[in-house]
Amino acid sequence: MWWGLGTLALDLVAVLVVTSLLRSRMPYGVWRRLHWLSYATWPLAFLHALGSGSGAGTWWLRGVALGCFVTVAVAAGYRLAGLDAEPSTGPRVRVSPPGPGGPGTPEPASAASPGWPRRPAG
């Protein structure tokens, strides 16, 4: 069972890597939904580490695992509480690629701009 969890976690990571490489060729919504799988990857890999291998029951692995678990729990709580939101300091601006306007011409960017990161609502 433990090896299966590790295999599944690795398969999910492969999906995330491939879809990241193909992001420009797929609709943003599809890419975003697939990337929600990253939240399942860590627990699967974590359980795999706890259950397999010769060091699975050792004190040092349990200590490292506890440290990782606490770190991820604090980070998840921080994000879910909305404490990671950046304060608004004015309109966002991105630098355009070289083109008719010249290299590095600033242009306003919005959440609807292609390639601009979007945060989930809520």
pLDDT in the model for residue 67: 95
58-114 confidence digits (pLDDT tens): 899 889 989 999 999 998 888 888 776 666 565 555 555 555 555 555 555 555 555
- The count of other CB atoms within 10 Å of the CB of residue 38 is 12
**Any idea which residue has 């040092």 for tokens?**
60
Q: Where are the domains of the chain?
A: 2-84
pLDDT in the model for residue 10: 92
- The count of other CB atoms within 10 Å of the CB of residue 31 is 16
16-59 confidence digits (pLDDT tens): 999 999 988 989 888 888 888 888 898 998 888 888 877 878 89
Largest CA distance in the chain: 62
pLDDT in the model for residue 76: 86
pLDDT in the model for residue 71: 94
Half-sphere exposure of residue 40: CA atoms within 13 angstroms, side-chain side: 15
pLDDT in the model for residue 122: 46
